[in-house]
Amino acid sequence: MSAATGKKAVLQLDGKEIELPIYSGTLGPDVIDVKDVLASGHFTFDPGFMATAACESKITFIDGDKGVLLHRGYPIDQLATQADYLETCYLLLNGELPNAEQKTEFDAKVRNHTMVHDQVSRFFNGFRRDAHPMAIMVGVVGALSAFYHNGLDIEDVNHREITAIRLIAKIPTLAAWSYKYTVGQPFIYPRNDLSYAENFLHMMFATPADRDYKVNPVLARAMDRIFTLHADHEQNASTSTVRLAGSTGANPYACISAGISALWGPAHGGANEAVLKMLDEIGSVENVAEFMEKVKRKEVKLMGFGHRVYKNFDPRAKVMKQTCDEVLEALGINDPQLQLAMELERIALNDPYFVERKLYPNVDFYSGIILKAIGIPTEMFTVIFALARTVGWISHWLEMHSGPYKIGRPRQLYTGSTQRDIKR
């Protein structure tokens, strides 16, 4: 629990003083408890909730000024290089990294739930072949609640835990199938002899005709790191959406579907897709210098550089850059668009204009390049983000349901018409 600091903020309202208690977390700024303002007949006003702590959490901490991202206290770069994605999942869910026995048991649980009910596959036939994969994911993930009635009691700890495992295990299957459906290829079923990342890539790219398909270990490692680096990011828009939906008592599949919907927005999960669209617009390496000059003149936006939260550098980007270099070297790709991206990176890291403004390449820039190099189409980028973030969403949902909580009910500053009567 947060600790009272003994300090109070004093608010002057209509000649009266309201004392507001101040609380401290283990890291980050102190928070002012403003709930007593309501008794005075006032609301607080904070568009975008930029200065509002809507919950108490022990899962993830971000210090944007210092470029810090911690999951349960562990720095993200250490998790991405010294642990795999499922270990990070275990950490987010349980608060500690697993020992060898716990890891073996957890991995087995996930593997045992990778299959989905056969009738789920029929849901895909209801979508047009040119449907966006995120549209498919929103519908199919939400529909899972129709198949797992034996785990929908949100008051039951065991139900909550098995649902978390089911989601982490099944989302890769549904994500890969959403891709296969849009390209008209048969679904590939999960293989439990493969690692989490290998299994996803196998379901994405294997075909019945290619029984000897082997996943490149460099690409599997890169995908695992992408999953880890996107696993959670504190109280962002989609996580807050999951918590808000969860506060109504909605079933967890509906809550995760709501999170996927929020992530779909280009200002949130679509950033790495926007990077590739920007590269398409630039066209060729010869146009990069002029494009960057347009950025300086604020005529165009530079996607994949800088971050809304991280004012210094994105701590995930260093690991992602290293992974990007490994992938490009392993594949030996001679793609003009990737050369264009590397020229953008070179200029941004050396031009004083970008250096002084700390417009460094962020995780979206490098992840977009990696996913393109692997052969994943841009419309699947946000789906992969949703796949990775599922563990973060369900961890926050579990945390919320492990103690008392209130239904979310933000207020408003009403600026419409006052009461009026119909006159005829």
Same domain, 11 and 135: no
Same domain, 103 and 8: no
* Angle made by CA atoms 321, 326, 329, in degrees to the nearest 5: 120
Same domain, 185 and 87: yes
CB 69 within 8 A of CB 60: yes
Q: What is the mean pLDDT of residues 191-196?
A: 95
Q: Which residue has the higher pLDDT, 316 or 258?
A: 258
Inform me whether the pLDDT recorded for 261 exceeds 70: yes
Inform me whether the pLDDT recorded for 198 exceeds 70: yes
In a domain, 159, yes or no: yes
Identified catalytic residue from 71, 202, 233, 307: 307
pLDDT at site 356: 86
pLDDT at site 4: 64
- Strand, helix or coil at 24? strand
Domains of the chain: total: 2
Q: What is the CATH number of the domain that holds 320?
A: 1.10.580.10
Confidence band (pLDDT; 50, 70, 90) for 3? low
In a domain, 418, yes or no: no
- Strand, helix or coil at 268? coil
Confidence band (pLDDT; 50, 70, 90) for 197? very high
CB-based burial of residue 61 (10 Å sphere; 0-12 exposed, 13-18 middle, 19+ buried)? middle
Mean model confidence pLDDT for the chain = 91
Same domain, 36 and 67: no
Confidence band (pLDDT; 50, 70, 90) for 182? very high
DSSP state of 186: P
331/333 Cα distance (integer angstroms) = 5
Confirm whether 325 is a catalytic residue: no
Same domain, 258 and 352: yes
Same domain, 356 and 269: yes
pLDDT digits (tens, 9 = 90+) for 17-38: 899 999 999 999 999 999 889 8
In a domain, 416, yes or no: no
The alpha-helical segments, DSSP class H, found in 268-409 are 271-282, 288-296, 315-331, 336-350, 352-356, 363-374, 381-401
The lowest-confidence range among 17-21, 203-207, 337-341 is: 337-341
Q: Within 10 A of 351 (CB to CB), how many other CB atoms are there?
A: 17
In a domain, 368, yes or no: yes
In a domain, 195, yes or no: yes
Same domain, 292 and 265: yes
In a domain, 424, yes or no: no
pLDDT digits (tens, 9 = 90+) for 348-395: 888 999 888 888 888 888 888 899 899 999 899 999 999 999 999 999
pLDDT digits (tens, 9 = 90+) for 103-136: 999 999 999 999 999 999 999 999 999 999 999 9
Q: What is the CATH number of the domain that holds 6?
A: 2.20.28.60
The encoded tokens of residue 227 equal 């999953």
Same domain, 30 and 148: no
Q: Within 10 A of 332 (CB to CB), how many other CB atoms are there?
A: 6
Inform me whether the pLDDT recorded for 2 exceeds 80: no
pLDDT digits (tens, 9 = 90+) for 67-105: 899 999 999 999 999 999 999 999 999 999 999 999 999
In a domain, 413, yes or no: no
H or E element that contains 202: helix 196-205
Confirm whether 307 is a catalytic residue: yes
- Strand, helix or coil at 146? helix
Residue range of the domain that includes 378: 63-405
Identified catalytic residue from 107, 314, 364, 396: 364
pLDDT at site 266: 79
In a domain, 116, yes or no: yes
